[in-house]
């Protein structure tokens, strides 16, 4: 459990440092990715630096993310973790930061004694008032 | 794995039959719920029939859901499953059905030899084109 908690925190530390290889080292070679942005998702190359580097390039500085309400279930070589995470960032061309809260579920698998992220599901809900607006303004 | 696959399919069969207690029997007493609709989510009473019954009442008939691209990781007494699911339903007051595809992650825990759902995360991504529209029109 403690090892998994450290991985979850450490990957956001690596992100805040803009360290793409350091961040990807926590992921398995194949990851089922369900991202905040389209497409729906599916299997991706967990070690391809291009998507993460491209995403980082849209910000004035690497985003800072925090993990709250973390719950970890682990047994044998399988684990999953749920949390409500915040992301604070300044988009390039903007001079003010935004903060967005989202849900995060991670699936981990232990391979050769080492836990790796094999699934990541980040999302916000959407308003069912007919507007179909993404609920990017919620707080825990 | 086969037992978990059966649970995942069977809960949608119970839903299609409008069988609220049958559906809830697959869930643990405490579930971390991240739903399609707000709020962000957190611990909920997995056996409270009111939310599911209230949701069903908004449709002309119980929604039908299908599971595709199911991937299950299980070890010891922990498991997680990812899939792209469709939901087809007719809202009350409408005469035509809609179909929406969404991502689904389930976390399961085995208690007394029986697998129960302890976490459910359903979502669609949103368009990052400035519109913040929920992407309810995607297909796998």
pLDDT in tens, A31-54: 999 999 999 999 999 999 999 999
Which of B77, B119, B138 comes nearest A38 by C-beta? B138
Q: Is the pLDDT of residue B103 over 90?
A: yes
Interface of A with B in 54-73 (CB under 8 A): 69, 71, 73
User: Which residue in chain B is spatially nearest to A77 when comparing CA positions?
Assistant: B75
How do residues B10-30 score in pLDDT, each as one tens digit? 999 999 999 999 999 999 999
CA A62 to CA A60: how far, in whole Å? Answer: 7
CB proximity A38 to B under 8 Å: yes
The pLDDT value given to residue A1: 86
**Sign (positive/negative) of CA torsion A103, A128, B135, A89?**
negative
Surface of A (93-112) touching B: CB under 8 A: 101-103, 105, 107, 109-110
User: What would the DSSP string read from start to end of B82-140?
Assistant: EEEEEEEE-BTT-SS-EEEEEEEEEEEEEETTEEEEEEEEEE--B-TTTT-BB-TT---
**Record: contact A74-B73, CB cut-off 8 A:** no
Nearest CA to B138 out of B128, B117, B124 is that of B124
Tokens of B48: 């409270």
Contact B88, B76 (CB under 8 A): no
Distance separating alpha carbons of residues B37 and A101, to the nearest angstrom? 15
Model pLDDT, residue A92: 94
pTM assigned to the model: 0.97
Residue A84, chain B, CB below 8 Å: the answer is yes
Question: For A39, which of B71, B110, B138 is closest by C-beta distance?
Answer: B138
Residue B120 near residue B37, CB atoms below 8 Å: no
- Distance separating alpha carbons of residues A78 and A82, to the nearest angstrom: 14
CB atoms within 10 A of CB A100: 19
What pLDDT is attached to residue B130? 87
The CA angle A33-B127-B44, to the nearest 5 degrees, is: 60
Q: Averaged over B71-84, what is the pLDDT? A: 98
Beta-strand relationship, B42-45 and B27-34 = antiparallel
């Amino acid at each position: 459990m403690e090892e998994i908690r450290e991985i979850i925190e450490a990957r956001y530390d690596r992100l805040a440092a803009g360290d793409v290889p350091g961040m990807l080292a926590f992921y398995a070679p194949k990851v089922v990715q369900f991202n905040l942005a389209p497409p729906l998702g599916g299997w991706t190359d967990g070690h391809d630096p291009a998507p993460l580097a491209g995403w980082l390039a849209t910000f004035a500085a690497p985003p800072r993310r925090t993990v709250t309400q973390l719950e970890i279930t682990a047994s044998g070589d399988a684990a999953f973790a749920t949390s409500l995470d915040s992301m604070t960032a300044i988009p390039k061309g903007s001079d003010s930061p935004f903060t967005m809260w989202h849900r995060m579920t991670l699936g981990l698998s232990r391979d050769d004694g080492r836990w790796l992220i094999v699934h990541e599901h980040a999302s916000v809900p959407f308003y069912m008032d007919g507007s179909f607006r993404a609920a990017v303004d919620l707080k825990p």
